């Protein structure tokens, strides 16, 4: 990442912030943090400013106008954007009979339309620079079908995988690589709050780790490492990197997903 500028959405906390920290540690010259949480975003920017030039832009990614303004602010500050990470996501749950049109639209606005709009705007800058670039979309194993309680979320992530492949084909001749990370269960502050709201005990993480093939589910730092691998020069585009040690596709057995 030496000398490169990266824009990260959903960067005020969780895996977005972990990615920003690792990008700075790997030599990024500039990091643009995009998030709707002004307080956490400002705190994250203050922390990262000790390692590299950092800009925080408050942005509701459901708003096309705010997305355009965020990319313009990054371009004005750094004069370039070399990498984009679409990490912002809405994970709200609802069964099919509980899913309203409004919830469906909001989930797709955050999880699918926003990555498209950020990619569209950033790709124009990358083309102008003529140096190529790298884009990583954070998807989910639920894109393969998912929990019934995550129908709208799963559909939006399935669309994100298709968007990734289509954009990879469209931008490849410009030297812009577009890949996705198909991640699974990750221990974050938001996930902890969700598990408690679903009636799980404080020890849910210990149980999840015990059931995982590799002995623990993902942490934000694991996700950040995979994202940086895809950003750093891996000669691939339109690829989906699987990152869900709690679930091995096609396998049935002990642990999470055990057939009943």
* 135 SS3 class: strand
Listed residue (237, 253, 105) closest to 180, CA to CA: 237
Total count of residues recorded for the chain: 260
What token pair was written down for 185?
Answer: 């269960």
Which of left, alpha, beta for 250 (phi over 0: left; psi -120 to 50: alpha)?
left
Compute the distance between CA of residue 256 and CA of residue 260 in angstroms, rounded to an integer: 11
* Neighbour tally for 147: CB within 10 Å: 11
Instruction: Determine contact, residues 41/33, Cβ cutoff 8 Å.
Output: yes
Q: Residue 148 burial by CB count (10 A; 0-12/13-18/19+): exposed, middle or buried?
A: exposed
Q: Which residues are catalytic?
A: 153
Classify residue 32 as exposed, middle or buried by CB count within 10 Å of its CB (0-12, 13-18, 19+): buried
Strands (E), 10-114: 30-35, 53-58, 83-86
For the record, the structure tokens of 81 come out as 């954007």
Residue 111: HSE in the Cβ half-sphere, 13 Å Cα cutoff = 27
């Amino acid at each position: 990442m030496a000398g490169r500028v990266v824009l990260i959405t959903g960067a005020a906390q969780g895996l977005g912030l972990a990615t920003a920290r690792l990008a700075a540690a790997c030599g990024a010259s500039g990091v643009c943090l995009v998030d709707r949480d002004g307080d956490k975003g400002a705190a994250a920017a203050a922390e990262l400013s000790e390692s590299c030039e950092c800009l925080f832009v408050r942005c509701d990614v459901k708003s096309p106008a705010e997305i355009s303004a965020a990319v313009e602010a990054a371009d004005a500050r750094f004069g370039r954007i070399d990498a984009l990470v679409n990490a912002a996501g809405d994970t709200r749950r609802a069964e099919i009979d509980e899913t309203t049109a409004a919830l469906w639209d909001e989930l797709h606005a955050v999880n699918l339309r926003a990555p498209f709009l950020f990619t569209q705007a950033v790709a124009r800058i990358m083309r102008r620079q003529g140096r190529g670039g790298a884009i990583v979309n954070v998807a989910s194993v639920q894109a393969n079908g998912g929990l019934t309680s995550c129908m709208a979320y799963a559909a939006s992530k399935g669309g994100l995988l298709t968007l990734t492949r289509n954009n990879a084909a469209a931008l490849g001749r410009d030297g812009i690589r577009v890949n996705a990370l198909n991640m699974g269960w990750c221990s974050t502050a938001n996930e902890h709050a969700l598990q408690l709201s679903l009636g799980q005990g404080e020890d849910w993480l210990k149980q999840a780790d015990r059931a995982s093939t590799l002995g623990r589910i993902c942490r934000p730092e694991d996700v950040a490492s995979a994202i940086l691998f895809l950003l750093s020069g891996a000669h691939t585009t339109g690829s989906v990197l699987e990152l869900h040690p709690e679930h091995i596709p096609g396998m049935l057995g002990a642990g999470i997903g055990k057939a009943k």
